[in-house]
Amino acid sequence: MPNFEHPEYPEATLLHLESMVPCRESQVSSLLSVFGKRQHFSFPSIFIYGHTSSGKTYVIQTVLETLELPHLFVNCIECFTSRLLLEEILTQLQNLSSEKKHGSRVPCDTFNDFVRLFKQETITQDLQNQTVYIVLDKAEQLREMEANVLPGFLRLQEFTDRNVTVIFLSEIVWELFRPNTGCLEPFTLYFPDYSIGHLQKILSHYHPPEYSADFYAAYINILLGVFYTVCRDLKELRHLAALNFTKYCEPVVRGEASERDTRRLWKNIESHLKKAMQTVYLREISSSQWEKIQQDDGEPGHLKGLSAHAHVELPYYSKFLLIAAYLASYNPARTDKRFFLKHHGKIKKTNFLKKHEKTSNHLLGPKPFPLDRLLAILYSIVDNKVAPTANIFSQITSLVTLQLLTLVGHDDQLDGPKYKCTVSLDFIRAIARTVNFDIIKYLYDFL
């Protein structure tokens, strides 16, 4: 007995539909009741929102295809200008009507032409009696197109005087879409996020046939225990589940443990999953590299992630230049005297120690500094004498190319260029350690 009852569609189709959309039964039944019969009018526009990977695109596509309702599906990231979008809709509409004509692209510049051509296309065939559904995925991109596209689509039923419903799918709530002077409000439908029980049910669906469902369900349990507090995205979890399953099965394959020996399986997989959170989850390494590491069963210590490549080997003076730049960015200019002069005299302690936590420069970000200040600090921290040759200046430029420094202000400003240092504290500490320079002593925030 299917959960969905509809006078229009045969029971077998509805049962099949129900099996394809687990945990989304109530949303599908509201959709079906809103759609009504094939020839009935429905809302002119429907706005469906929900979290990432909450099944919006999948459910809509499945419903429309299984029930064989005439529909067009367009992704607004693919068709990012209004012209591409309108032409794509008209081309798909042409293909919808007769299977024989193969879509020659219909040129369409403006929304006015689109309405006219749409009216022409839908009058020529049997689409007249059925609701045509236009599905616009990633609808938040519509806000970036011309101002008349979004309100136009909301009212498409009125403009074309045909039985058409536009369905918008998005992650962002409707309030952030509404145009300034108002528009025809669509019917908003919410796709709730999957609860942990739902996630378990859906993920256990994908178990490989060699192992029992219970074994896989226990594995999913462990995986969710590690990742659920961080991420609830179904696609990410599926990816992680698929990648790490072979490692989980290793003890069973090697004969060290049976399928039910949960403790040993847990001990085997736990550190592996924690490492996965820092690498594959962050896309630091690719999934093929991850699988290779699992197969080698070697030391996962030297995983070279993407951010590891940022540690370049710099020449000696470049390191000092970078350290000087970091000090110039994160120390206020008035404190230079105290750090870098041999005899700096007395500085009132009270002014010095009154630091509000918020103005800690490490929270606000690097400040720009002029070139002269950089050179002044450089001369004071390098032991031997450094001449301001072209060598030094070209090293500064190469640091800018490596994006360890950025040029602030206009490119053509030849006298008095300003720079900013864009490396993190850990990076600069590593560099300072290689030249035996204690940078913490020189930082104002760590006084």
Q: Which of 385, 393, 390, 370 is nearest to 321 (CA)?
A: 393
What is the token pair recorded at 203? 């993920």
Asked if residue 151 binds other proteins (CB under 8 A), the reply is: yes
Find, among 314, 400, 327, 321, the residue nearest to 367 by Cα: 327
Which residue stretch of 13-21, 90-98, 107-115, 325-333 sits at the interface with other proteins (rule: CB under 8 A)? Answer: 107-115
Separation of alpha carbons 87 and 20, rounded Å: 32
Nearer to other proteins, 162 or 207 (CB): 162
Sign, Cα dihedral of 329, 332, 333, 339 = negative
What is the identity of the amino acid at 326? Answer: Y
Q: Kindly state whether residue 368 participates in binding other proteins, applying the rule CB under 8 A.
A: no
Closer residue to other proteins in complex, CB, 115/431:
115
What is the nearest approach in angstroms of other proteins to the Cβ of residue 185?
Answer: 7
Contact with other proteins (CB under 8 A) among 146, 261, 270, 438: 146
Q: With binding defined as CB under 8 A, does residue 447 bind other proteins?
A: no
Is 29 within 8 Å of 4 (Cβ atoms)? yes
Instruction: Mark 261-290 with x for binding to other proteins (rule: CB under 8 A) and - for no binding.
Output: ----------------xx--xx-x------
182 touching other proteins, by CB under 8 A: yes
For residue 189, list its beta bridge partners. Answer: 48
CB-based burial label for 212 (10 Å; 0-12, 13-18, 19+): exposed
Give the range of 165-173, 247-255, 347-355, 372-380 binding other proteins by CB under 8 A.
Answer: 165-173
Which one-letter DSSP state was computed for residue 333?
G
Q: Which of 33, 287, 391, 413 binds other proteins (CB under 8 A)?
A: 33
Q: Token pair of 204, please?
A: 């256990």
Task: Let me know: does 156 contact 145? Beta carbons within 8 Å.
Answer: no
When asked if residue 235 is in the footprint of other proteins (CB under 8 A), the reply is: no
H or E stretch at 167: strand 164-170
For the chain, the straight-line distance linking the first and the last C-alpha, in angstroms and rounded, comes to: 73
Min separation Cβ 59 and other proteins, Å: 16
Closer residue to other proteins in complex, CB, 39/128: 39
Q: Which stretch binds other proteins (CB under 8 A): 30-38, 58-66, 315-323, 325-333?
A: 30-38
Degrees, nearest 5: CA angle 63-66-68: 100
Is position 215 an interface residue for other proteins (rule: CB under 8 A)?
A: no
37 binds other proteins (CB under 8 A): yes
Out of 126, 175, 313, 411, name the contact with other proteins by CB under 8 A: 175
- Regarding 96 and contact with other proteins (CB under 8 A), the answer is no
Do 191 and 46 meet the contact criterion of CB atoms below 8 Å apart?
no
Q: What angle do CA 420, 425, 426 make, to 5 degrees?
A: 135
Residues counted in the chain: 447
- Within positions 400 to 439, which residues make up the interface with other proteins, using CB under 8 A? 406, 408, 422
Binding site for other proteins (CB under 8 A): 5, 7, 30, 33-34, 36-37, 39-44, 49-52, 54, 110-112, 115-116, 146, 148, 151-152, 155, 157-159, 171-176, 181-185, 187-188, 190, 192-193, 195-196, 228-232, 277-278, 281-282, 284, 307, 358, 362-366, 406, 408, 422
